Structure 1
């Protein structure tokens, strides 16, 4: 070293700092690169992506290689900086060189390149793979020895370098990815994707048409009355029953009734022959399972039953699809459902039979969906008795006034979302998180 000029040593020191910056940026770029985009680029036969993917198959070897290189250049840089310091400042130059080199490496070989690599991992990792792959082959014996010792230490803690977390996303993580996609995925498509993810936690009971609202025809009625109900039916499939819905006969398709009418065979006996078998499903069936069952059974409609076999409601394929794509409508203008009426003062009149899940989705509210399925049920659960009209309360942070009661049921309520106040337990949970 005595024969090497100080100027040359400065040049060598600068080159070593550049090498250190390269190894630091390569490490950060390789470790922060988006693995899912990387897999996509590999499928697209991207050369740089294929090299990086090959290196990341064994991250322990990649990290070992980078750290070996980084430590070698840093130690060499420290030795050269010490020589330069002693030449310029004597013995005190050792301390000066240590402090100065630490600052230089921290700024130019650590923080700056790692920040750059974290911001642009592909631009850093793809070119650096040109150097790292040959280096891995050349230094493989040394990397193998170093990894052997580190893997032995990990084995003492029962950790395997090959048993890291798989590159798979949970449902909640995938939901976050969808929301974070921003402008890359239109808002409507985001809602559809999230709707598909939610099918697993939504049951038939959550979306069914309640028993009291099922449009059905009593086959024991007068034939003219049956004809009139069929003619004025707004549904293509109508449930037939005897005296009570619990004694359901089956579904009749209006198309089949029209065929009988066209053949002049429209009678009660022939109508019963055209009845289609009823498909029953438990109320706890998740929607994704129900969708598969509808598909395999080639069904579009079914009756929902409870654990005792009693009919609780009706569910259709359209109901499931609406959970994914939203409500079907014949107009492009945004409209509210018939259960919701917006008032001039900002309050909202809501029908007591309104489904809470649908209400939350339509109005962007936060009423609890665990428990009662309707507004009426939620209010009755809160009061633990049948309340009179003109009584007010606060539910889930929303001020609610009972406007009308009918037949021991809450007919209409007034919700005042402008006076919403986050419940105390929600704030405490948020603070805890």
Structure 2
């Protein structure tokens, strides 16, 4: 390098530092790309995204190429800096060149370009991939040799160098992504998407109408009594049973009843009515809601009776109950639009019907009572006290102070809740 002028060496050194910054920034930018956005843009025909995605399919080759280029320019820059140091500073030139070049490379070729690339990965990765593609072709033999040795060492450690594609998000990770995507997804839509993910954590017992609240009619009643009960039913589908609710006969759709009544002869006897009864669709207890939603769809059913392992009826679950877990509560004209089970008192406390479903209460009041045990507030109080309490018994569950207002021999009926 004796024949090259000092100015020429300085210019060459500057160009090498720029190349080092290019390789350092490109490495960070390529590895910081959002893989899901990259795949989406690639599928949409974005050329730069396709190039980047192709390079990232073999990250070992990409990293090998970038590091080969980065090390080549850094080593060459070090040699040139040494020559410049000896020319300009004599015997102290080596030390000065080493210290100065280290500082320059650290600031201008490492920290600054990598920080910029981490902040704006797409703006750097996409245009830089234009340069990487021909470089990969040019240096492929060297890249292949380096990767052969490196991958061999990794295989000895039991590490695969091919992109495994195992970067799919789990439900919890996807939930975190949705919660953090507040700027791009409306809050209501985000809540619905999170609710869909939560379906796998909720079972049919959490949303069903419990056995003691089922509206059902005994077919052994006289015909007039049955007709009166049917015409006053708050539901469009009525459960029919024989003597005991565990001996169910089927569901009667009120639309079928109206069709019969519209005929010339009308509904004249119980036998005519029972011919319109439809079969029962049974649902095992413990079935997650996401599974039951698919079962309803495949069976083309909207209603099912929840049964335990002994075949005893535990409650009734409908398609609407599952949909409410996703979209929130909605009502029909036959049901009140607001809850009658919770009433606010003058002192700021709440009087609550203890038969209320805990999940429904939490959703309505934005409370956080535990839902991994009993399904009703009565069950939660009994579990906490381990006995049937007397009236005016008080207890604390989490941050909530609860007082039993009314209770009978078998259950708590009314409580007062005072959130702390």
Asked whether the 8 Å contact 1:336–1:362 carries over to 2, the reply is no
- Identify which range, 120-129 or 71-80, moves more after superposition: 71-80
Quote the residue 1:58 is aligned against.
58
Asked whether the 8 Å contact 2:58–2:163 carries over to 1, the reply is no
- Tell me the alpha carbon deviations over residues 262-314 of structure 1, each in whole angstroms, 9 at most, x when there is no partner: 12331211111111001111111121221222122221111100111100100
Quote the residue 2:342 is aligned against.
340
* TM superposition shift of 1:330: 6.2
Quote the residue 1:92 is aligned against.
92
- Tell me how far apart the structure 1 counterparts of residues 356 and 238 of structure 2 sit (CA, whole Å): 22
* TM superposition shift of 1:195: 1.6
Quote the residue 2:285 is aligned against.
283
TM-score between both structures, scaled by the size of structure 2: 0.95
- Tell me the alpha carbon deviations over residues 88-130 of structure 1, each in whole angstroms, 9 at most, x when there is no partner: 2222222222122111111111111111111111100000000
Q: How many residues align?
A: 416
Name the SS of the counterpart of 2:245 in structure 1: strand
TM-score between both structures, scaled by the size of structure 1: 0.92
* TM superposition shift of 1:336: 5.0
Please say if 1:226 is aligned against 2:211: no
- Identify which range, 43-52 or 194-203, moves more after superposition: 194-203
Give the aligned CA root-mean-square deviation in angstroms.
1.7
Quote the residue 1:265 is aligned against.
266
* TM superposition shift of 1:318: 0.5
- Tell me how far apart the structure 2 counterparts of residues 112 and 288 of structure 1 sit (CA, whole Å): 48
Quote the residue 1:359 is aligned against.
361
Asked whether the 8 Å contact 1:237–1:253 carries over to 2, the reply is yes
- Tell me the alpha carbon deviations over residues 230-262 of structure 1, each in whole angstroms, 9 at most, x when there is no partner: 111111000011222111111100011111111
Quote the residue 2:299 is aligned against.
297
- Identify which range, 405-414 or 110-119, moves more after superposition: 405-414
Please say if 1:321 is aligned against 2:308: no
Please say if 1:146 is aligned against 2:135: no
- Tell me how far apart the structure 2 counterparts of residues 345 and 165 of structure 1 sit (CA, whole Å): 58
- Tell me the alpha carbon deviations over residues 170-199 of structure 1, each in whole angstroms, 9 at most, x when there is no partner: 111111111111121111111211121122
Name the SS of the counterpart of 1:353 in structure 2: coil
Structure 2 residues not aligned, in runs of 5+? none
Asked whether the 8 Å contact 1:203–1:286 carries over to 2, the reply is yes
- Tell me how far apart the structure 1 counterparts of residues 365 and 75 of structure 2 sit (CA, whole Å): 64
Off by >6 Å, runs of 4+ in structure 1: none
Q: Matches of residues 11-410 of structure 1 in structure 2 within 5 Å?
A: 11-162=11-162, 164=164, 166-263=166-263, 264-266=265-267, 267-329=269-331, 337-410=339-412
Name the CA shift for 1:233/1:197 in 2 (closer, same or farther; >3 Å). same
- Tell me how far apart the structure 1 counterparts of residues 138 and 347 of structure 2 sit (CA, whole Å): 77
- Tell me how far apart the structure 2 counterparts of residues 2 and 173 of structure 1 sit (CA, whole Å): 60
- Tell me how far apart the structure 2 counterparts of residues 276 and 49 of structure 1 sit (CA, whole Å): 56
Quote the residue 1:424 is aligned against.
none
Name the SS of the counterpart of 2:329 in structure 1: coil
- Tell me how far apart the structure 1 counterparts of residues 96 and 407 of structure 2 sit (CA, whole Å): 86
- Tell me the alpha carbon deviations over residues 103-160 of structure 1, each in whole angstroms, 9 at most, x when there is no partner: 1111111111111111111100000000001000000000001001110110111111
Asked whether the 8 Å contact 1:242–1:248 carries over to 2, the reply is yes
* TM superposition shift of 1:366: 2.1
Asked whether the 8 Å contact 1:339–1:350 carries over to 2, the reply is yes
* TM superposition shift of 1:6: 1.8
